[in-house]
Amino acid sequence: MAQGRVAREASSRSGAPSRVGGFSLIEMAVVVVILGLLLGGLLAPLAAQQDAQKTAETRRLLEEVREGLLGFAAVQGRLPCPDRLADGDGLEDPRVEGADPPEDGCAGGEYGGWVPWVTLGVSPRDAWGRRLRYRVTRELTRRVGDPSAAACVTPVPAVAPRNPCVLELGDPGDISVHGRDLATRAERLVARELAAVVLSLGPNGLGGVDAAGAPLSAPPAGAEDELRNLDLDATFVARDRSAPTPGCRDSAAAAPPCEFDDLLLWVSPHVLYNRLVTAGRLP
């Protein structure tokens, strides 16, 4: 027995790998690496699945907003004004009689801002918790037969008189949406003369605000397409998603495209007129 004890002590002093609970440290390290690889392989598809679910949920929310806009128009005879960015109370900000010019339908002449979610009774945020943006055509925010616009007529020779301060059948929208070929970077017109656009800033939320109202980071300088969706004018971009890449520039084919994940939905003026005619708001 003494010889066996001496042999075991000699073995422990040798360079043989130590063992923990029946496994050597090398074996434990291999197990940890394998588990890490397995977890990484599982988490990647899970993240993609969650992203797909949130994207689908956001598209559904955008559809609800569009239906809310059309329902509002059927009752009020016009599209709602946005909730101004500086306000953020969820209520539309229509023109103030005596303070705003007669051709303006919205307060301060501002036609881009947040979705007026309280006014419409819809969700204010997308599935990532970011506020939804909204742009509307100026002329379509003045209600049918608005008495305060009775004198606001611009005669056009040889053309039937129109009143640019009220919504009339056939009034065009002033909003356009453009796409981009990511291979050539060429722009193409997707839709024009739209009545309104509703926008989610997507998973990255760049340029938006979070659930607490805190501003998020702006897109990088080269992300021209996402920046165009934030500049409050009547031109928007809808294109395929692309991942964040260093040294990107959307319009330069020599550089990789910048991250883009915005989601847009728009209101066709023809759908709007159909709702207004059905509701008896237009002849």
Q: What are the tens digits of pLDDT across the range 164-208?
A: 788 989 899 999 999 999 999 999 999 999 999 999 999 999 999
Banded model confidence at residue 6, pLDDT cuts 50, 70, 90: very low
Distance CA 279, CA 283 (A): 10
Each residue of 136-165: b (16+ CB within 10 Å) or e? Answer: bbbbbbbbbebeebeeeeeeeeeeeeebeb
> How far, in Å, CA of 116 to CA of 121, rounded?
8
Confidence of residue 25 (pLDDT cuts 50, 70, 90): confident
**Lowest-confidence pick of 63-72, 114-123, 137-146, 222-231:** 137-146
Q: How far apart are CA 200 and CA 263, in angstroms?
A: 5
* 249 CB neighbour count, 10 Å cutoff: 18
Query: Taking the complete model, does pTM exceed 0.75, yes or no?
Result: yes
Confidence grade of residue 158 (pLDDT, cut at 50, 70, 90): low
Split at pLDDT 50, 70, 90, the class of 210 is confident
Structure confidence by residue, pLDDT tens digits, 98-146: 899 878 899 999 999 999 999 999 999 999 999 999 999 998 998 888 8
Give 13-24 pLDDT, tens digit per residue: 545 555 545 667
